[in-house]
Structure formats: C-alpha cells, structure tokens
C-alpha cells in the first residue's frame, strides 16, 4: 500500500528568513512624502532665516562701535544699562545656539521622510551623511537627490559659529561718564591780570611782547605737536581744527565741554600770484624792504632763508601804525577779508631759475610767480581770505588733558568778535616765522603747499590768541566738563559677519527648494521600470521559488 506523502510547510527557519527579508525591505523603504505634514516644519526655517539676518544686522549696526564697560565701571550710567564685553559675547553666543537649534530641527524634520530607517540610524550614530556608509554609494532617485542637496547645504551650519563669534574685537576706548561726575572748569587763567597792558603796547619796550610770543609758541606746540591727532596733510583728526589750550584740571582725553568759547579761524581762500602784475608794489615793499614793520619785535622775513618761512599781513592795517601807549584793553572785533601772504619757497642764488627739489617737492615746476630777494631767497605771493575771532562751541572734546577742540563742522561754525582777534592777527608774522623755524608741530610740506599755508596760519593764530587770553582775560566763566571713563570699544569685522550670513542662508535656499518639491509631489515620484527589467525580476523570483521547492523535496519525513 502506497504511502501518502504530504508536503510539509517550510520550516520555521525558512519562514523567519522570508519574514526578515520582508521586514528589511520595509525598513529600507523611505518614508512616504506627506506635503501638508512636512510643511508644518517651515516656521523653523523661517525663524532660522530671520534670526540669522537679525543677528548679522545687530552686530554691524549696534555692536560695532559700542563702548562697553569694564570691571571698574557701574552697570548703570545715567539710568541706562551699560553692557560689558562679556555680556555682549554671551548674548552673541546664545543667539548662535538658538539659531543652531532652528537649523538642526528644520534639517532633521525636512530630511526624515526621504531616508530609510538604517540611514537615519547611521546618521544619528556617526553624525555623517547616509551615503558615506560602507559600501559608499550615491543617492538614488529624485527624492534622495533632493534630500542630499538639503543635507549638503546644512552640513556647514554647525561649524560656522566661530566665524561669527570671532568677528568682534575689543579695543581700549573712552566714553562720557555720568552727569553726576561733572567737573567745574575755569575758562580763564586764575593768574591773569587786566593790568600792565601798556607794557605790551610800548613800542620801545619789547620785553612783554617777547614774553607773549614765547608763550604763544609754547601753546602752539602743546596743541599741535601730537602727530596722532593730525592727518598726513596737516588737518585735524579730532574736530574742526579750532583748538584751545585750557587749564589743567586732570580731565582725560575725549572728555567733553559744552558752550565753551574757543578761538577759531577760517582760511576761506588762497589765491596765488601767477605773474608780477598780480603783486602790488606796496605788498612787495612791505614784505621785503619794510619787513620789520610787520613784526612786533622788529624782525623781518628777509632775515630767514629756509623754505617754509612766511608772513601774513594786511598792508592797510599794520601793528606798526596802530595807536600805542594805551592802557585800555582792545575793543572786541573779528578780522575778515583779504590779507597778503609772502612765503619763501626756495633758497639758492639763481633768480628762481632751475630750482632744485626741496621739502616742498619739485618747486621748479610750481606755476606760481617766483621772485628772488636778499640772501638768495625765492618768494611766492598770495591773497589769503580769512575770518578770525572766537566761536561758542556747542561741544568740545579734550584732545589731551590741556587741549580742547570744537566738534562743529568748520563750515557751520559761527565766528564772533573778541578782544584778542586783531592782536593775534598782528602777531602772525612773528608767529609764522618762528613756528616754521622751530618745526615742532611737524607741518607736512611735500606737495602740500596750500594746506601747509592754511595749517601754519591756523596754528599761529590759535597759539597767539591763547597767549593774550592767558595773560589778560580775567572775567572767569565756570563751565562743566564731563570726564571720560574707561571703556572697551567693539570693532566688528563686516567681512566675517557677511560671510557667516551667506553660509547660513544656504540653509534657507535649500529649504525653499525642498518645500517646493514637497508642494509638487509628482516631482519626487520615481519613473516606472522598463518592461524588460520587470520581466527579469519576475524570472528571478520564479527561479528563487523553484530553488526553495527543490530544497524542500529533498527533506525526509518519517
């Protein structure tokens, strides 16, 4: 009797293998794309973008130039919070952490549905792109390429924080202290006296005038010898050029004064003579033959030979012709209009022909009219329009503990009459020859003729006015100065900030691209497989099935 053979079911091991293959296939399949649900993460992308732009703008426009406090300064100044450099650094770091949170959250959510479970597990464990898992491969399909592009744009985001945090440098600085720390400043010298003005005016008694000139030269040196406050062409780096030497009150640099009277002069125009006809005979004679009449000390320009010596005068208003022996102080006025200038440009016996280069440059090529006079000196002539007096400075800053400078733009400065305006202008011939001889203010000359003349006139006038004021002004006015306190000033590298912002916005660009793909799911669908590939897959499946059945038939059953 024949036995009935039943085909047994596949062993549990085989079934388990089949099930594991199915599970593995399921795990390795990407998550389905759900546009509406995926778009719920776009606020994170928006916050990342807004936060990055806001942080960059704050650094460039708020932090840059900010005077932060140090450990010695109070937290509140005049009722306002004063941040310290550590506070600013902490705030920037906190903002970077917050932006990084938005970045990583968006990247995780946006790319989750395009990855398999094994790819996500690999990224979580090794912090690497999924395609770097051995064996190396490249993205397959449109969805994988879209995710790859998004991940590549997100890849540099965690590493760029040092680029921004290192964009802020801190340099020593000063800033105005609280109003409660104001210091009373006396406008005049406490030792000044209204007496003995007649000693200055006595024509045959030059001792007092010599003292005034020496003191004026000292004030000019105090005000202008610090080259860090003067540009390469001689103009001021700290204000409009109207400086005043004040009493020493122990106030540091950059302390401020308001509504303070300072001497001021505007050199409005310099018109050089281009021919002999443009030099009046009276001007030429006054600068050469009668040069001693320009000086309060009977000096004369013809006694000097170095290039750069100069005199400024009004041929119709000379100190030599003024009233003398007066004991009353001068009447307040201001000096306006054209004055004559004579300048030594070279010194060689050549009738101003074939001049060699000197500290002014190639003077032989200068187009101005040149003429020689005593001791081989070669002269230039010009008409210089000036306005000299004083100004009430709305805001002055201490250039040094003894020098203040008006902060009003010079063109907007109002020149007012003053007792010493004319006296200071009359002292200019002596001041200009002496100051250029001393060269202690280091006036730049090379190819700088006009600015040299303007700076020489300004420095001489201000020094002369300070000397008269220091000797005879007694109507002391008390003003309040606000001292400066130590600060650290932020200096932000704009290049680093904008580089960081550009890299950060790569995340935004990739996010917009990914959102567009999610809104158009048809773009993420894979193309249908060709017919021959499907047939080949069916044949492979049948062959695998037959192999399994053959293996089962070889089994023995009892």
**194 and 84: one domain?**
no
420 domain residue, yes or no: yes
Rounded-to-integer distance, Cα 84 and Cα 65, Å = 13
| pLDDT of res. 11 | 46
CA dihedral 60, 61, 65, 68 (to 10 degrees): -100
The C-alpha angle with vertex 401 and arms to 395 and 405, in degrees rounded to 5, equals: 30
558 domain residue, yes or no: no
Longest dimension (CA), the chain: 164
**121 and 194: one domain?**
no
* Boundary-marking domain end, from 455, 482, 509: 482
Q: What is the pLDDT of residues 245-268, one digit of tens each?
A: 999 988 888 899 989 999 999 999
* Boundary-marking domain end, from 482, 509, 533: 482
**321 and 448: one domain?**
yes
Contact 363, 355 (CB under 8 A): yes
Total-model pTM: 0.66
382 domain residue, yes or no: yes
Distances (CA, A) of 440 to 222, 246, 344, 355: 10, 20, 19, 26
Helices (H), 374-528: 421-426, 428-438, 449-472, 494-519
97 domain residue, yes or no: yes
* Boundary-marking domain end, from 482, 516, 535: 482
Q: What is the DSSP letter of 64?
A: T
**421 and 522: one domain?**
no
178 domain residue, yes or no: no
**368 and 516: one domain?**
no
**324 and 401: one domain?**
yes
**199 and 100: one domain?**
no
Q: Name the packing angle between helices 494-519 and 42-58 (round to 10°).
A: 170
| pLDDT of res. 504 | 87
**222 and 336: one domain?**
yes
HEC secondary structure over 332-362:
CECEEEEEEEEEEEEECCCCCCCCCCECCEC
**293 and 352: one domain?**
yes
The C-alpha angle with vertex 141 and arms to 135 and 143, in degrees rounded to 5, equals: 110
How does the average pLDDT of the chain come out, rounded? 82
Rounded-to-integer distance, Cα 514 and Cα 508, Å = 10
Task: Bin 70: left if φ > 0, else alpha if -120 < ψ < 50, else beta.
Answer: beta
232 domain residue, yes or no: yes
Non-local (6+) Cβ contacts of 244 within 8 A are 223, 260, 262, 263, 396, 403, 404, 405, 462, 466
Contact 189, 489 (CB under 8 A): no
Contact 443, 142 (CB under 8 A): no
Positive or negative, the CA dihedral 131, 133, 136, 140 is negative
Contact 147, 503 (CB under 8 A): no
Distances (CA, A) of 146 to 135, 357, 511: 21, 71, 10
Contact 226, 245 (CB under 8 A): no
| pLDDT of res. 541 | 55
Rounded-to-integer distance, Cα 239 and Cα 543, Å = 94
Q: Please identify which residue in the block is written with the tokens 């003077």.
A: 363
pLDDT < 50: residue spans in the chain? 1-33, 528-529, 533-534, 556-558
**292 and 233: one domain?**
yes
Positive or negative, the CA dihedral 26, 32, 37, 38 is positive
| pLDDT of res. 283 | 96
Domain count, the chain: 2
For residue 534, what are its two tokens?
């499907």
CA dihedral 441, 345, 424, 281 (to 10 degrees): 180
550 domain residue, yes or no: no
| pLDDT of res. 21 | 43
Helices and strands, counts by H and E, the chain:
15, 16
Q: Please identify which residue in the block is written with the tokens 């040196």.
A: 221
9 domain residue, yes or no: no
Rounded-to-integer distance, Cα 176 and Cα 486, Å = 9
**502 and 455: one domain?**
no
Which range of residues forms the domain containing residue 279?
A: 183-482
**461 and 495: one domain?**
no
Distances (CA, A) of 7 to 2, 11, 553, 555: 16, 11, 8, 10
Instruction: Identify the CA nearest to 100 among candidates 165, 51, 41.
Output: 51
């Amino acid at each position: 009797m024949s036995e009935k053979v039943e085909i047994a079911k596949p062993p549990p091991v085989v079934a388990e293998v089949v099930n594991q293959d199915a599970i593995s296939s399921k795990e390795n399949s990407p998550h389905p794309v759900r546009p509406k649900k995926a778009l719920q993460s776009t606020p994170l992308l928006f916050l990342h973008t807004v936060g990055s732009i806001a942080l960059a703008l704050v650094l460039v426009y708020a932090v840059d130039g900010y005077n932060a406090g140090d450990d010695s300064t109070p937290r509140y100044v005049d009722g306002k919070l004063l941040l310290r450099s550590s506070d600013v650094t902490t705030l920037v770091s906190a903002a970077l952490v917050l932006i990084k949170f938005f970045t990583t959250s968006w990247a995780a959510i946006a790319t989750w549905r395009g990855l398999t479970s094994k790819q996500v597990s690999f990224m979580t464990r090794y912090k690497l792109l999924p395609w770097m898992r051995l064996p190396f491969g490249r993205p397959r399909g449109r969805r994988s390429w879209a995710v790859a592009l998004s991940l590549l744009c997100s890849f540099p985001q965690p590493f760029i924080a040092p680029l921004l945090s290192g964009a802020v440098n801190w340099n020593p600085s000063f800033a105005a202290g609280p109003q409660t720390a104001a210091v009373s400043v006396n406008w005049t010298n406490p030792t000044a006296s209204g007496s003995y003005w007649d000693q200055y005016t006595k024509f045959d008694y030059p001792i007092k005038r010599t003292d005034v000139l020496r003191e004026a030269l000292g004030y000019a040196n105090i005000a202008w010898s610090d080259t860090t406050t003067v540009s390469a062409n001689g103009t001021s780096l700290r204000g409009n050029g109207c400086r005043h030497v004040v009493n020493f009150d122990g106030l540091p640099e950059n302390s401020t004064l308001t509504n303070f009277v300072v001497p001021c002069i505007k050199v409005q125009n310099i018109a050089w003579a281009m021919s002999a006809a443009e030099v009046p005979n009276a001007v030429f004679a006054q600068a050469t033959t009668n040069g001693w009449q320009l000086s309060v000390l009977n000096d004369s320009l013809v006694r000097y030979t170095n290039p750069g010596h100069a005199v400024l005068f009004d041929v119709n208003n000379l100190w030599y012709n003024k009233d003398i022996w007066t004991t009353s102080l001068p009447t307040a006025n201001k000096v306006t209009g054209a004055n004559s200038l004579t300048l030594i440009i070279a010194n060689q016996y050549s009738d101003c022909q074939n001049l060699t280069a000197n500290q002014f440059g190639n003077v032989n090529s200068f187009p101005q009219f040149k003429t020689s006079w005593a001791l081989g000196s070669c002269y230039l002539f010009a008409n210089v329009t000036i306005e000299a007096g004083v100004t009430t400075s709305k805001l002055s800053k201490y250039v040094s503990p003894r020098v203040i400078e008006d902060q009003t733009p010079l063109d907007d400065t109002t020149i007012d009459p003053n007792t010493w305006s004319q006296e200071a202008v009359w002292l200019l011939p002596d001041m200009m020859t002496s100051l250029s001889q001393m060269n202690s203010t280091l006036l730049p000359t090379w190819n700088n003729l006009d600015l040299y003349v303007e700076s020489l006139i300004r420095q001489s006038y201000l020094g002369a006015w300070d000397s008269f004021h220091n000797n005879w002004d007694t109507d002391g006015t008390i003003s309040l100065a606000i001292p400066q306190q130590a600060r650290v000033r932020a200096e932000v590298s704009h290049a680093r900030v904008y580089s960081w912002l550009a890299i950060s916005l790569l995340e935004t660009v990739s996010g917009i691209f990914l959102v567009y793909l999610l809104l158009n799911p048809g773009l993420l669908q894979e193309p249908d497989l060709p017919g021959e590939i499907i047939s080949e897959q069916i044949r492979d499946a049948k062959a695998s099935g037959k192999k399994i059945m053959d293996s089962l038939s070889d089994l023995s059953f009892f």
